[in-house]
Amino acid sequence: MSSIPAGVNPPLRILMGPGPSDVHPRVLAALARPTVGHLDPYYLQLMDQMQGMLRQVFRTQNELTFAVSGTGSAGQEATVMNLVEPGDAVVVGVNGVFGGRLAEMARRAGAEVTCVKRPWGEVFAADDFKDALASAQPKVVALVLAETSTGAWQPIEEISQLVHDAGAMLLVDAVTALGGIPVEVDRWNIDAVYAGTQKCLSCPPGLAPVSFSARAVKTIMNRKTKVHSWYLDVSLLASYWGEDRVYHHTAPINMTYALHEALRLVLEEGLDECFARHKLHHEALAAGLDALNIPYTAEPECRLPQLNAVRVPDGIHDARLRRRLLEEFGIEIGGGLGDFQGKVWRIGLMGHAARSKNVLLLLGALEQLLAEEGYLFDHGASIAAANQRWSQAGQ
Query: pLDDT, tens digit, for every residue of 274-310?
Result: 999 999 999 999 999 999 999 999 999 999 999 999 9
Q: How high is the pLDDT of residue 352?
A: 97
Residue 16 lies in a domain: no
- What is the torsional sign of CA 125, 130, 136, 139? positive
Assess whether 193 and 107 both reside in one domain: yes
Identify whether residues 45 and 127 lie together within a single domain. yes
Q: What is the spatial distance between Cα 69 and Cα 71, in angstroms, rounded to a whole number?
A: 7
- As a whole number of Å, the end-to-end CA separation of the chain is 60
Enclosing H/E stretch for 390: helix 381-392
- The SS3 of residue 65 is strand
pLDDT at 247 (0 to 100): 84
pLDDT classification of 2: cutoffs 50, 70, 90? confident
Domain extent, residue 328, equals 270-392
Q: How far apart are CA 227 and CA 325, in angstroms?
A: 45
Beta bridge partners of 311: 344
Whether residue 296 sits in one domain with residue 236: no
Q: 267, 299, 329 — which closes off a domain?
A: 267
Beta strand ranges found along the chain (DSSP E): 14-15, 64-69, 89-94, 112-117, 140-144, 146-147, 152-153, 169-173, 192-194, 207-212, 307-311, 331-332, 334-335, 344-348
- Examine the domain organization and report whether 81 and 94 are in the same domain: yes
Helix, coil or strand: residue 283:
helix
Kindly report, residue by residue over 167-194, the tens digit of the pLDDT.
Answer: 999 999 999 999 999 999 999 999 999 9
Q: Total structural domains in the chain? A: 2
Residue 260 lies inside a defined structural domain of this protein? yes
Residue 337 has pLDDT above 90, yes or no: yes
How many degrees, rounded to 5, is the angle at CA 190 between CA 261 and CA 256?
Answer: 20
Q: Look at residues 243, 290, 318 and name the one whose alpha carbon lies nearest to residue 386.
A: 290
Do 338 and 387 lie in one domain? The reply is: yes
Q: How far apart are CA 30 and CA 260, in angstroms?
A: 9
Give the type of residue at 371: A
pLDDT for position 110: 97
